[in-house]
Chains A and B, each alone.
Chain A
């Protein structure tokens, strides 16, 4: 199993600002995944972060809006840029174990 810590756990942000979410894993992992869960919705994959290369974004998500860093094998950040109320969501960092996905506790963002 993996222990994943995310910061912040929650935040209230103003429209037009940007916020960076940090994700720390207690073991080295090749891939880290960033998901978004909008209120009452499922988990949608934003991007896959591989250490040493640019993140791979899913359809509908772009690097300018959600820049990701992956400086080493245990850490990643996701920035939500130029936020609007539609970005109010839970953002989840995750890694795969032997098969299943382990999740952080999530970062609940509310954009006013």
Chain B
């Protein structure tokens, strides 16, 4: 069975601090996808990244970076120099490799960036 665990329910940091959101997953599939989505207070779901299980390279996109480690089944997300606009709920998600397979979401981490 697939499972995504985001142990951090809520995090508060002061603006400009770095913050890491943890994600641990479980799957029996040998190939799979991992995702991060952002849900700001407005409610829409914003796709941030997709990572194939074959690709363990870390990714950086501006102030965002992702650390994928198969050995620990983790796919952590770091925001560098956080800004108030980063305040949102962040969801980590998992699916099998197949294009039409369902995506399972973690419970989310609510991030508060304090001015």
Contact = CB atoms under 8 A, between A and B. Distances in A.
A40 B84 CA distance: 20
A99 B107 contact: no
A99 B102 contact: no
Given A42-B107, A42-B108, A43-B91, A106 B100 contact: no
Given A30-B100, A33-B102, A103 B45 contact: yes
12 contacts: A42-B106, A42-B107, A43-B45, A45-B102, A45-B104, A92-B45, A96-B99, A98-B99, A99-B50, A99-B52, A99-B99, A100-B50
A21 interface: no
Given A42-B105, A43-B91, A48-B102, 10 more contacts: A33-B103, A41-B108, A42-B106, A43-B105, A44-B105, A96-B99, A96-B100, A96-B101, A99-B52, A100-B35
Interface string A15-55: 00000000000000011010000000111110010000000
Closest 8 CB pairs of A and B: A31-B100, A43-B105, A99-B50, A42-B107, A100-B47, A103-B45, A42-B108, A42-B105
Contacts of B52: 99
Interface residues of A, number: 20
A43 B35 CA distance: 13
